[in-house]
């Protein structure tokens, strides 16, 4: 199946990925975390879309349904479709896209600029004009998945002589995205004269053909942490003028990348007066704590379970994936993206399912599954190995968060807000996360999903030349906390293997 589809948002045509939620296409706010509870993400949508959900029938009036109103967080684009936001934002000299803070406009470009986030799984980009107007937006799968779903696989491939091929694959994808962004906005790609590209340290290294050898062994001392400006010619991007400047924001360490730097910017983490945390929960969990005017960061290898990779019937959050599981009259009820027959289960669905299985005593706190495989909804099942993968992943994330907290002599209840960035975080049921011990309960209660904060921070850097200095300051002043030799991390990690609410202070 061709994963690329054409969608039109507020009159702007763009290319995107089959099965993408409309909330990502409109960069909309999700006050309830994308669980379809608040009804504040209404759009008028027509075309090839997922089926109407029970939650939409409850929250939308008959008149709204007749007009084609949908909830963007619960509706998925399955093909060509047209989306209109219910109320247009006024365009001013103060720019605020989605959940981004307000900031002054001082563009780093003279005609058009593009912000790009190179994620391990997906690529996302936005095109702006000098007035801060968002002209077009696009997302697609990262083609480097052909060499492996995680960064470790790609590092191994690069060291095995595939570095040039990896670089060329991402450059080709970026060239195509730039072309599609420009075409959607009816401009020439050669008029794009400013670009900001963020991503984790490995993704930026693969793009620029920097050696990834330091990432393959301790002490993981990256030779290049970016924070530099290159040209389109140097990056071999052929759809831009050769002298077009491309800024790569600074990374903090080998495994705390520019995506975290940009997310810190977008969430205004270092402007908070109370202790505040940021976590990007994925294969490599990156975390930051701001407390007492000090920024501390760390990373921990969680494994790919939250991305749906490696599970017996795992898949990413696309059409056909079970993304939510709940208990109704004592039975498990699964929600399937797109309203189709289930094909597999993604990370958020896995967390929900295990929380429900624990409550029903289908498995115990040790994670032992007596009868396997256990059926969630035919034909999707979970095995004992799946449960073990989740235990390893959730224990690593929880231990990382708690080690940062305890290092500052704080308790989870002292954390004012936990910002959860990334696609998985947008759909994570934090109540389920607390039930299985992925998040301490006090943190889960104060968690807020912020979507693609990395792309948001890249856009801010693109649209205000003065912001570059802030990202440089974050990277320079942050304290990198090494978890690999920390006794507290090891102790909490072992305790965290239990499935259930953790008795952690």
Helix axes 487-495, 384-407, angle to 10 degrees: 140
Q: What dihedral do alpha carbons 487, 491, 496, 500 form, nearest 10°? A: -140
- Judge contact between 399 and 393, C-beta under 8 A: no
Q: Which residues of 364-374 are buried (b: 16+ CB within 10 A; e: fewer)?
A: eeebebeebeb
Looking at residue 314, what DSSP letter applies? B
Question: Which residues make up the CATH 3.10.20.30 domain(s) of the chain?
Answer: 1-88
pLDDT at residue 504 in the model: 58
Percentages helix, strand, coil for the chain, rounded to the nearest 5? Answer: 35, 30, 35
Among residues 289, 291, 218, the alpha carbon closest in space to that of 260 is found at: 289
Q: Is the peptide bond before 379 cis (omega within 30 degrees of 0)?
A: yes
Q: Which of 293, 188, 195 is nearest to 235 (CA)?
A: 195
Q: Encode the chain (505 residues) as per-residue pLDDT tens digits.
A: 567 888 888 777 788 888 888 888 886 556 566 677 777 788 899 999 999 998 888 888 887 888 888 999 899 999 999 898 865 332 223 333 445 788 899 999 999 999 999 988 788 899 999 999 889 888 888 899 889 877 888 999 999 999 999 999 999 999 999 999 999 899 999 999 999 999 999 999 999 999 999 999 888 889 899 999 999 999 999 999 999 999 999 999 999 999 999 999 999 999 999 999 999 987 778 999 999 999 999 999 887 788 887 899 998 888 899 999 999 988 999 999 888 899 999 999 999 999 999 999 999 999 999 899 999 999 999 999 999 999 999 999 999 999 999 999 999 999 999 999 987 888 899 999 999 999 999 999 999 988 889 999 999 999 999 999 988 988 899 999 988 888 999 999 998 899 999 775 4
| Tokens linked to 206 | 């693969």
Q: Which residues pair with 322 in a beta bridge?
A: 336, 345
With contact defined as beta carbons under 8 Å apart, do 451 and 421 qualify?
Answer: yes
CA nearest neighbour of 384 among 370, 395, 394 = 370
Q: How many helices (H) and strands (E) does the chain have?
A: 15, 25
pTM for the predicted model, two decimal places: 0.81
Other C-beta atoms lying within 10 Å of the C-beta of residue 444: 21
Contact 439, 447 (CB under 8 A): yes
At 353 the pLDDT is 97
Q: How far from each other are the two terminal CA atoms of the chain, in whole angstroms? A: 49
Among residues 86, 81, 93, the alpha carbon closest in space to that of 40 is found at 86
Cα angle value 236/237/240 (rounded, 5°): 135
H runs (alpha helix) in 163-320: 163-185, 201-208, 258-266
Closest residue by Cα to residue 361 from 501, 504, 503, 499: 499
What pLDDT score does 95 carry? 39
> For the domain bounded by 1-88, which CATH number is listed?
3.10.20.30
Residue 27 and residue 97: Cα distance in Å, rounded?
7
Structure tokens at 165: 């091929």
Looking at residue 92, its pLDDT comes to 27
Residue 251: cis peptide before it, omega within 30 degrees of 0: no
Q: Which residue is associated with the tokens 């968060």?
A: 401
């Amino acid at each position: 199946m061709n994963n690329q589809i054409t969608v039109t948002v507020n009159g702007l045509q763009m290319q995107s990925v089959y099965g993408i939620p409309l909330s990502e296409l409109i960069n909309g706010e999700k006050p309830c975390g994308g669980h379809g509870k608040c009804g504040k993400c209404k759009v008028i949508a027509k075309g090839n879309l997922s089926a109407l959900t029970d939650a939409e029938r409850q929250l939308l009036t008959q008149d709204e349904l007749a007009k084609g109103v949908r909830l963007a967080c619960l509706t998925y684009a399955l093909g060509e479709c047209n989306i209109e936001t219910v109320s247009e934002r006024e365009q001013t000299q103060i720019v605020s896209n989605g959940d981004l803070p307000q900031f002054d406009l001082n563009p780093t470009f003279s005609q058009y600029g593009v912000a790009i986030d190179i994620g391990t799984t997906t690529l996302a980009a936005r095109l702006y004009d000098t007035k801060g107007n968002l002209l077009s937006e696009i997302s697609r799968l990262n083609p480097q998945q052909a060499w492996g779903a995680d960064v470790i696989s790609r590092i191994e491939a690069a060291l095995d002589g595939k570095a040039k091929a990896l670089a060329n694959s991402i450059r080709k994808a970026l060239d195509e995205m730039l072309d599609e962004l420009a075409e959607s906005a009816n401009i020439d790609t050669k008029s794009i004269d400013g670009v900001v590209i963020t991503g984790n340290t490995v993704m930026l290294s693969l793009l620029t053909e920097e050696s990834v050898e330091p990432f393959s062994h301790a002490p993981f001392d990256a030779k290049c942490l970016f924070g530099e400006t290159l040209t389109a010619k140097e990056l071999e991007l052929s759809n831009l003028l050769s002298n077009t400047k491309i800024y790569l924001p600074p990374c903090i360490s080998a495994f705390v990348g520019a995506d975290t730097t940009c997310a810190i910017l977008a969430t205004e983490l270092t402007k908070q007066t109370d202790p505040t945390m940021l976590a990007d929960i994925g294969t490599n969990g990156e975390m930051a704590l701001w407390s007492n005017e000090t920024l501390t960061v760390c990373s921990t290898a969680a494994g790919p379970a939250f991305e749906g990779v490696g599970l017996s019937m795992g898949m990413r959050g696309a059409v056909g994936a079970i993304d939510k599981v709940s208990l109704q009259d004592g039975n498990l009820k699964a929600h399937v993206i797109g309203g189709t027959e289930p094909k597999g289960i993604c990370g958020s669905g896995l967390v929900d399912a295990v929380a429900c299985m624990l409550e029903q005593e289908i498995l115990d706190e040790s994670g032992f599954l007596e009868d396997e495989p256990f059926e969630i909804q035919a034909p999707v099942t979970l095995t004992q190995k799946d449960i073990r993968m989740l235990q390893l992943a959730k224990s690593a994330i929880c231990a990382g968060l708690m080690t940062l907290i305890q290092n500052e002599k704080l308790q989870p209840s002292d954390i004012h807000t936990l910002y959860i960035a990334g696609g998985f975080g947008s759909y994570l049921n934090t109540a389920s996360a607390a039930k299985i011990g992925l998040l301490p309960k006090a943190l889960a209660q104060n968690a807020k999903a912020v979507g693609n904060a990395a792309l948001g921070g890249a856009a801010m850097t693109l649209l205000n030349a003065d912001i570059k200095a802030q990202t440089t300051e974050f990277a320079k002043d942050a304290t990198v906390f090494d978890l690999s030799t920390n006794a507290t991390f090891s102790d909490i990690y072992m305790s965290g293997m239990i499935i259930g609410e953790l008795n952690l202070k």
